[in-house]
Homo-oligomer: A and B are copies of this chain.
Amino acid sequence: MDIAKEVLNGSRLALSRAITAVENEHDDAVDIMKKLYPHTGRAFVLGITGPPGAGKSTLTDKLAKEFRNRGKTVGIVAVDPTSPFSGGAILGDRIRMNELTLDEGVFIRSMGTRGSLGGLSRKTAEAVKIMDAFGKDVIFIETVGVGQSEVDIVSAADTTLVVLVPGLGDDIQAIKAGILEIGDVFAINKADREGADKLNIELNMMLDLDGNMNKQWRPPIKQTIAHQNEGVIELLETLEEHYEQLKSTGQLTTRRTERTKNELLNILKNEIGNYVLGKITESGQFDKLVKDVEGRMDDPYSVVNNIIKDMLK
């Protein structure tokens, strides 16, 4: 079966298989991506991040439903970089338990870390591209937490929504400082909780300090109560406004060029690394080198230098 062709023909099964191929680095993954690539670049890609417990999943579901009401098809990639051993199953299960899954116009996929983190943001970006080629109008990238891994992951998005929640402790406040710079739109979810106004004021202050006053787009802050569907329509319209603004100012092109550049560099680094690793491990001399380094007869940097000299033109 030609998976890429089936994806383009609208097969949900093929869509699922293509993502699995990418996730598990199957032999045909690169071939699938090559064939799908020309059909990408049409979807609105929306990143959603924020601390655990902020209600990101619920908010994603409500936004997805509202996009569906407006006739758009939706893809959701739910990424859990904190789940190295479960493959993201926890997060996936939580999401699967709702009415969205009964809607043919919605495709949900969870991804966890297998092996190294570095690969996860690349694989997420590829899953998004597969959904994009499939024809999804809006694609969500939802992350579980708010660390550097999440920052890397949502960098594949056009518009990034940062979801915060009143009443989290100091640790979370410290983390927030790191995500201010990536938020295009902020939502204060569970806005009926005590502390919502205080958070709103603090966040506004931080955004002003952040030098946003001179930018074309000053990230708006929206209040939502996702589980009661409150504020969701307003939030969705703000997200679309941001996307429109990206398009009209030419920033969408700039952002996407930057992204293409980074993706190319990441793929290059990964492929060349794998290629060279393959060569030296199959040559059998690698174990000897490890022993030398371990016995302190050689150091890793000199060993690596020699390998590079040997292999490159």
Q: Apart from A260-B293, A271-B301, A272-B304, list 19 A-B contacts with CB within 8 A.
A: A30-B301, A33-B301, A38-B296, A40-B296, A53-B169, A84-B151, A84-B178, A117-B118, A149-B149, A256-B294, A260-B300, A264-B290, A267-B300, A268-B273, A268-B277, A269-B269, A272-B272, A272-B311, A275-B312
What is the size category of the interface that chain A forms with chain B?
35 or more
Using Cβ atoms and an 8 Å threshold, which residues of chain B touch A178? 82-86
Interface secondary structure of A, over-half rule: helix
Q: Is A41 at the interface (CB under 8 A from chain B)?
A: yes
**Chain B: CB-nearest residue to A170:** B53
Taking beta carbons and an 8 Å cutoff, which residues of A are in contact with B? 30, 33-34, 37-38, 40-41, 52-53, 81-86, 90, 113, 116-118, 120, 145-149, 151-152, 169, 171-172, 174-175, 177-178, 181, 256-257, 260-261, 263-265, 267-269, 271-273, 275-277, 280, 286, 289-290, 293-294, 296, 299-305, 307-308, 310-313
Using Cβ atoms and an 8 Å threshold, which residues of chain B touch A256? 294
State whether A37 touches B152 (Cβ < 8 A): no
